[in-house]
Structure 1
Amino acid sequence: MTTGAGALLRAAHAGPALAVTVLTLLLAVSAGLGPARTVLVTAAVLAGQLSVGWSNDLRDRSRDAAVGRSDKPLATGELTVGLVRWACVAAVVATVVLSLACGLVPGLVHLLCVASAWSYNLWLKATSASWLPYAVSFGGLPVFVHLAGGSTPPTEVVAGGALLGVGAHLLNAVPDLADDEATGVRGLPHRLGARRSTLLAVVLLVAATAALLVTGTVGLAGTTVGALVVAGLAGLALVGRGRAPFYSAVGIALTDVVLLVAR
Structure 2
Amino acid sequence: MRPTSDEATHRLAAPAVPRSTERPRGLALLKASHPMPAAAVTVLAALMGAAFGLDLASAATAVAAVGAGQLSIGWSNDRLDLGRDRAAGRRDKPLATGDARPGTVGTAACVALLVCVPLSLACGLLPGAVHLGCVAAGWTYNLWLKRTVLSWLPYAVAFGLLPAFLTTALPGRPWPPLWLTVAAALLGTSAHFANVLPDLEDDLAGGVRGLPQRVGRSGSVASAAVLALASCVVLTAGPTGRVSPAGAVLIGLTLALCLAAAAGPPALRRGRVPFVVVLAMAGLDAALLVLAGGPVT
Return the TM-score normalized by structure 1: 0.92
% identical equivalent positions? 45
Matches within 5 A, 1:149-168: 149=170, 150-168=173-191
- Report how far residue 261 of structure 1 moved: 4.4
Partner of residue 227, structure 1:
251
> Could you tell me how far apart the structure 1 residues matched to 2:97 and 2:278 are?
24
Q: Is residue 137 of structure 2 the alignment partner of residue 116 of structure 1? A: yes
List, as ranges, runs of 4+ consecutive aligned residues in structure 1 with deviation greater than 6 Å. none
Q: Taking structure 1 as reference, are residues 249 and 93 closer, same or farther at Cα in structure 2, changes over 3 Å only?
A: farther
Partner of residue 289, structure 2:
257
The alignment's C-alpha RMSD in Å is: 2.1
Kept in 1, the 8 Å contact 2:232–2:288? The answer is yes
Kept in 1, the 8 Å contact 2:228–2:282? The answer is no
Partner of residue 98, structure 1:
119
String of CA shifts for 1:182-209, please: whole Å, max 9, x gaps. 1111010111111111112111111111
What is the count of residue pairs matched by the alignment?
263
Gaps of 5+ in 1: none
- Report how far residue 258 of structure 1 moved: 3.6
> Is the radius of gyration larger for structure 1 or structure 2?
2
String of CA shifts for 1:78-102, please: whole Å, max 9, x gaps. 0001111221121011110100101
> Could you tell me how far apart the structure 1 residues matched to 2:211 and 2:180 are?
24
Matches within 5 A, 1:1-263: 1=19, 4-149=25-170, 150-216=173-239, 220=244, 222-231=246-255, 233-235=257-259, 237-238=261-262, 239=264, 241-242=271-272, 243-245=275-277, 247-261=279-293
Kept in 2, the 8 Å contact 1:13–1:53? The answer is yes
Q: Taking structure 1 as reference, are residues 229 and 17 closer, same or farther at Cα in structure 2, changes over 3 Å only?
A: farther
> Could you tell me how far apart the structure 1 residues matched to 2:253 and 2:277 are?
14
Q: Which moved more, 1:55-64 or 1:21-30?
A: 21-30
> Could you tell me how far apart the structure 1 residues matched to 2:99 and 2:180 are?
40
Kept in 2, the 8 Å contact 1:21–1:45? The answer is yes
Q: By percentage of residues, which structure has more helix?
A: 1
Q: Taking structure 1 as reference, are residues 32 and 222 closer, same or farther at Cα in structure 2, changes over 3 Å only?
A: farther
- Report how far residue 235 of structure 1 moved: 4.8
Q: Taking structure 1 as reference, are residues 230 and 191 closer, same or farther at Cα in structure 2, changes over 3 Å only?
A: same
- Report how far residue 219 of structure 1 moved: 8.4
Kept in 1, the 8 Å contact 2:160–2:188? The answer is yes
Secondary structure in 2 matching 1:148: coil
Q: Taking structure 1 as reference, are residues 13 and 232 closer, same or farther at Cα in structure 2, changes over 3 Å only?
A: farther
